[in-house]
Chain A
Amino acid sequence: MEMSLPFSRPWPAGKTAVAELKDRPESSFPLARRYADKMIAHAREEAPNECCGILAGPANEGRVEKLYHGINAEKSPVRYNIDPQQLLSIHEETEAKGWAILGIYHSHTHTEAFPSATDVRLAFWPDSTYLIISLKEQGEPVIRAFSIRDGRIEEKQVVIGE
């Protein structure tokens, strides 16, 4: 019987992250301030462990309607993995509402808000935006957004709205 958690064995070898960052990101990720605040609060609550969660909303509008606090099954400062049973129920709920999983967020408690090679290797949701909250600068949390497809990182500008 297969019972071990995802990170109990060596990680699959994969491509190295290739950052293709432009000075000015071409696309953007609109995010209401209340969600940005919730993400930062979540990151601080979970620290020193990484937090994770999901932003969902109507598929055709790209507007976040709900933030789901993820349960990090790894409970680790260097790993995140949204609890599989919770992932399924969130997925079912969004499908039922006709929503898309617009964003997947996690925190970096002491590194910058940029995807690690591991984050890139495990980015299996090419149509969602990956958001990273960095708590590296204590007083100044940073949120950055990226699309990660086929091992390529492209930054999106986080546009904070009301």
Chain B
Amino acid sequence: MAVEVRLPMILQKVAGGAKTVKVEGKSIHEVFDNLEKNHHGFASRLFDNEGNLNHFIMVYVNNEDIRLQRGMQTELKDGDVITLLPAMAGGEDCCR
């Protein structure tokens, strides 16, 4: 069962320059595992040191934010489109 993953610029280099990749997986979790297997280097960009999804990476399944669904456990169907986008964010240094 394959889904399409659309990559932002900062992740395309990990996939050898590809804008989209086809990946197997029945959940976001499985898809991310397979992304790392196919293209080493994804995991370190997608997850923090504790293994949680990086808060500055947005993940959408067919245009729905997975954080408003079941997060990493969000289930997938054949042909689903997953879009990864980095946050557009910033702020002052005073207030970490």
Contacts and interface: CB of A to CB of B under 8 A. Distances in A.
Interface in A83-128: 84-85, 87-89, 91-92, 104, 106, 108, 111, 115-119, 122-127
Interface size bracket, A side:
35 or more
A148 to B, nearest CB: 10
Interface of B: 8-10, 48, 52-56, 58, 60, 63, 65-73, 83, 85-96
Contacts, number: 109
Given A2-B53, A2-B67, A84-B65, A70 B88 contact: yes
A24 to B, nearest CB: 26
A4 B83 CA distance: 20
Contacts of B73: 1
B67 A78 contact: no
A118 B65 contact: no
Interface stretch (A5-13, A31-39, A56-64): A5-13
28 contacts: A3-B68, A6-B56, A10-B96, A50-B91, A52-B88, A78-B91, A78-B94, A80-B89, A87-B85, A87-B87, A87-B88, A88-B58, A88-B65, A104-B88, A108-B92, A116-B90, A116-B91, A116-B92, A117-B93, A118-B90, A118-B92, A119-B91, A122-B89, A122-B90, A124-B8, A125-B9, A125-B88, A126-B10
